[in-house]
Structure 1
Amino acid sequence: MAEHDENTLGGRLARYARVGTAVGGLAARLAGERVLGLPLERQKHAADLRAALGGLKGPLMKVAQLMSTIPDALPREYAAELAQLQSDAPAMGWPFVKRRMAGELGPDWQSRFRSFEHTAAAAASLGQVHRAVGLDGRVLACKLQYPDMASAVEADLRQLSVIFSLYQRADNAVSTRQVQEEIAARLREELDYGLEARHAALYRTMLDGVDGVHVPAVVPELSTRRLLTLEWVEGRKILDFVADNPDSRDALALTMFRAWYVPFYRYGVIHGDPHLGNYTVRPDRSLNLLDFGCIRVFPPRFVKGVLDLYHALRAGDEERAVEAYRAWGFGNLTRDLVDVLNIWARFIYGPLMEDRTRGLDETNASHYGRDTAERVHAELRRVGGVEIPREFVFMDRAAIGLGGVFLRLGSQVNWHRLFHGLIDDFDVDAMAARQKEALAAHGVPPPA
């Protein structure tokens, strides 16, 4: 492996210099205002942070966007500003691509393809995708990681944690220590395309037999830790497809729900990034899942806790709710804190409670979400704050992200019956056995 692909001191220092120029002055100004006792102008500083990061590419942008989509990971002003960041990166040129591909597959790498398009089909924060044709005639998608990403990830995570810690000192309602640890762990995993290949194979197993969902096959002989080659799948962006086929919105919502939650309730695995770019729609209205870098595997107790909380909220069973929060990793659960957590839980679970066809906008529209988040934040400050546990982060992000997609689709679905179709035969011991077998078969690490 080339040295520049490792997490090197030189690589980190170079990235520190680039990132530090962008955010160092802002962090120093914030610290100075705290020392002088000046009021913290959140909106202005949030806009300044977005401006500072806007000229940078790579993992820092990805981390900032992740933080912006996790409820209460950041104050509302910062989340709104960072959500506007664009993750598209300029593609590497052909001479650069040739060197990178030679480093991954050897100097004769082009002889292993019938053709390999010089121009990237897509480029993002960690790598870019090229369309190619294999020797067997299959059309392929080759995802090639940018150089020096390991050093960039470590440098960017350090810089981002510094500036977020300054903001957090001004508001102790939510401790994001474990949130940042979880994001760091998932981002480091995304650098390992070998793991992503195993995740893709795992998803092909978990979704086998689920109608309307396609997972591209991995081509292992053309894949490495920095190069992931899968079969190319054709499809359109979901919002474009629905604009031309408005009668598809409900069926697509049902398919997406199953694509995300069959793996969770049967195997304890969630796709943590329901970003609109991570799936496309085929002409027959089935879905392609395209990206498996952000995958979270949960202990069976956590999945049981998700269902226990649902039943606790329906029955008004406070003791069962407390046990569910403990299973999620929440600590110091006073009665007041549980009451506050239940406000957010009722918002998330609301569409599942009613046995009728309905849209999410009845209770989960964006303005309700903002109002609920602000109310929860104020109450958390009143009761002394909370530390968000790691295992909660991407489960919550998936639920919020999918809800946002369903809102944009305007889907009208009986969410209650859809949900119960997945959970009514849930058995935690059977799920644990199923998970253990599937993870072992694909070489995916078990949950910690």
Structure 2
Amino acid sequence: MTDVPRKAVRRTARLAALPLGYAGRSAIGLGKRIGGKPAEAVMTEIQQRTAEQLFRTLGELKGGAMKMGQMLSVLESAFPEEMAGPYREHLTRLQDAAPPMPTQTVRDILADELGPDWSERLVWLDGGPTAAASIGQVHRGRWVDGREVAVKVQYPEAADALMSDLRQLSLLARTAAPLVPGIDLKPLVAELQARAADELDYHLEAEAQRAFAEAFRDDPDIVVPDVVAVGRTVLVTEWLESPASIASVIADGTQEERDHYGELFVRFLFSGPVRTGMLHADPHPGNYRVIPDADGRPGRLGVLDFGAVARLPERGLPEAMGRLLRAGAEEDPDVLVEGLRREGFIKDRVTVDAGQVLDYLSPFVEPTRVERFRFSREWMRTQFARVNDPRDPTFTVGMKLNLPPSYLLIHRTWLAGLGVLCQLECEAPFRQILTETLPGFAQPDPED
């Protein structure tokens, strides 16, 4: 058996062991409850141990496993504090970390992708990686024209590992159930599988990044590095000088920094589709870099990693989405339900209570009802707990709603974006940003 198959077998075994580990701990917990230990204490202990195993395994693996871990990490703000506290460190660590590959392996890949004379164009390359992602790692270098560049190199066998992980990740549904109640991982895994080929294609990523770089070239607040060179598994872009990512602002930023970068984050997410016809669909904090002004005050926001984008046929987010949000903002449940039926969110012959539908969608609608909205972990947890509480009247609404395929990536991106904003605990003019950038949301002119 060669080394690569051995690694694949080990990866599969570690992922497959996760549900078994939870089952074993649950059996032990049952024994402790019979022995008199309080059920709440036993469940907390099970959650802690399961979380440690789950996120340690996801963090050490690359490919789909790490990608799922990163997806879960931006939803950390939705977890109840008694659950999030014990493993927040495991979650946030996934946003920026992965084991590096050897320097010689990197050089061999560069020779294969950019040609044997690659070092005549890439005249200097840092020996160690400066960052890592789910399917590749980044080195700093210098191009022959003097520009500092970022060199992203895809891990060997990344394609096989990614697809293998995605086939196995359905096993996580049972493991993660007690950790993230209410989140159905199966559609997320299916969506990751559908997008896997795009993310492995660096030529496609380069095309998207060039479009964003051109669209934001003269923007005073947003910076997107341009593409310098590209190969099948190598992408060279201009280096973005930045001391840290938004993750550092989440960890210990001032309120001024939180509000400033939170607003820029929202502005980029919603203005990108209008300018490029694409939605940047990987909004975890490691992809967003802070660029302070010369005096150290909050400055521009840099955006990286364009492997996951939604290409929008209407060259912008759907106008119907704006109209639905407007109906929700104006608390018109009947118009909201009618629009949801028209778009396929509510199927024919499915009966719903319009008021309960409006309540169920409040995590998306509530920030649009005021001039400035304060996002917070507490708000996110309250919303999350309410719509997933079987005793709440809105609980059954979620089982009646349907998510059309065309909205799947948009929905995931928006949900993850809300997670980042709540981690930032920022205040932003959300309503005004949507008025300026989301088709269909602006109040129609009475004379029209």
TM class, shorter-length: 0.7 to 0.9
Structure 2 equivalent of residue 330 of structure 1: 345
Q: Find the counterpart in structure 2 of residue 343 from structure 1.
A: 359
Paired position in structure 1 for 2:300 = 286
Q: Is the 8 A contact 2:203 2:231 kept in 1?
A: yes
C-alpha distance after superposition, 1:251-297 (max 9, x if no partner): 43333222111123455532222222212233431222121122122
Q: Distance in 1 between matches of 2:73 and 2:357?
A: 20
The unaligned stretches of length 5 or more in structure 1 are 1-8, 428-448
Number of residue equivalences: 410
**Cα offset, 1:374, TM superposition:** 2.1
User: Structure 1 residue 235 and structure 2 residue 242: aligned?
Assistant: yes
SS of aligned partner of 1:151: helix
AA at the equivalent of 2:231: T
Structure 2 counterpart of 1:311, from 295, 320, 326: 326
Alpha-carbon distance change, 99 to 61 in structure 1, aligned in 2, over 3 angstroms: same
Can you list the C-alpha shifts for 1:10-44, whole angstroms capped at 9, x where unaligned?
A: 8985454212332334435778999xxx8999762
What residue is the counterpart of 2:384 in the other structure? 373
Whole-Å Cα distance in 2 between the matches of residues 177 and 106 of structure 1? 41
Question: What secondary structure is seen at the aligned counterpart in 2 of 1:336?
Answer: coil
Contact 1:250–1:412 under 8 Å retained in 2: yes
Aligned to 1:298: 312
- The answer to whether structure 1 residue 57 and structure 2 residue 82 are counterparts is no
CA pair 330-217 structure 1, distance change in 2 beyond 3 A: same
Whether 1:225 aligns to 2:232 is yes
* 1:86 shift after superposition: 2.4
Q: Judging changes above 3 Å, is the alpha-carbon distance between structure 1 residues 63 and 287 closer, same or farther for their aligned structure 2 residues?
A: same
Instruction: Classify 1:391/1:101 alpha carbon distance in 2 versus 1 (closer, same or farther; 3 Å).
Output: same
CA distance in 2, matches of 1:166, 1:406: 27
Report the counterpart of residue 269 of structure 1 in structure 2: 278
State the superposition RMSD in angstroms: 4.1
Residue 150 of structure 1: how far off its partner (Å): 0.8
Alignment of 1:31-430 (within 5 A): 44=46, 47-48=49-50, 50-52=52-54, 54-55=56-57, 56-59=60-63, 60-67=65-72, 69=74, 83=91, 86=94, 88-164=97-173, 176-220=185-229, 223-237=230-244, 247=256, 249-265=258-274, 268-284=277-293, 285-300=299-314, 303-326=318-341, 329-332=344-347, 334-336=350-352, 339-355=355-371, 358-360=372-374, 364-379=375-390, 382=396, 385-386=399-400, 388-423=403-438
1:66 partner letter: M
Counterpart-to-counterpart distance in 2, 1:31 and 1:389: 34
In the TM superposition, what whole-angstrom CA distance separates every residue of 1:223-269 from its partner, at most 9, and x where no partner exists?
11210000112123255579787655544333322211112345553
Question: Counterpart amino acid of 1:374?
Answer: A
Contact 2:434 2:441 in 1 (8 A): no
- Asked if the contact 1:213–1:286 (Cα under 8 Å) also holds between the matched residues in 2, the reply is yes
**318 and 406 in structure 1: CA distance in 2 versus 1, 3 angstrom threshold:** closer
What residue number does 1:446 align with?
Answer: none
Q: Distance in 2 between matches of 1:365 and 1:231?
A: 34
Q: Distance in 2 between matches of 1:72 and 1:403?
A: 9
Structure 1 residues 411 and 31, CA, compared in 2 at 3 Å: closer, same or farther? closer
CA contact 1:67–1:79 (8 Å) conserved in 2:
no
Secondary structure of the structure 1 residue equivalent to 2:220: coil
Deviations 1:294-345 (A, max 9, x none): 2122344962222111221133433432344346653437443765543242
List runs of 5+ in structure 2 lacking aligned partners.
Answer: 32-38, 294-298, 443-448
Greater shift after overlay, 378-387 or 265-274?
A: 378-387
Q: Call closer, same or farther: CA 1:309–1:102 in 2, change over 3 Å.
A: same
Q: 1:173 to 1:385 in 2, by over 3 A?
A: farther
Q: CA deviation at 1:120?
A: 1.6
Query: How high is the sequence identity, in percent, across the aligned residues?
Result: 27
1:68–1:83 Cα contact (<8 Å) kept: yes
Q: Structure 1 residues 324 and 186, CA, compared in 2 at 3 Å: closer, same or farther?
A: farther
* 1:21 aligns with one of 13, 24, 40: 13
Moved more, 80-89 or 372-381: 80-89
Matched AA of 1:57: L
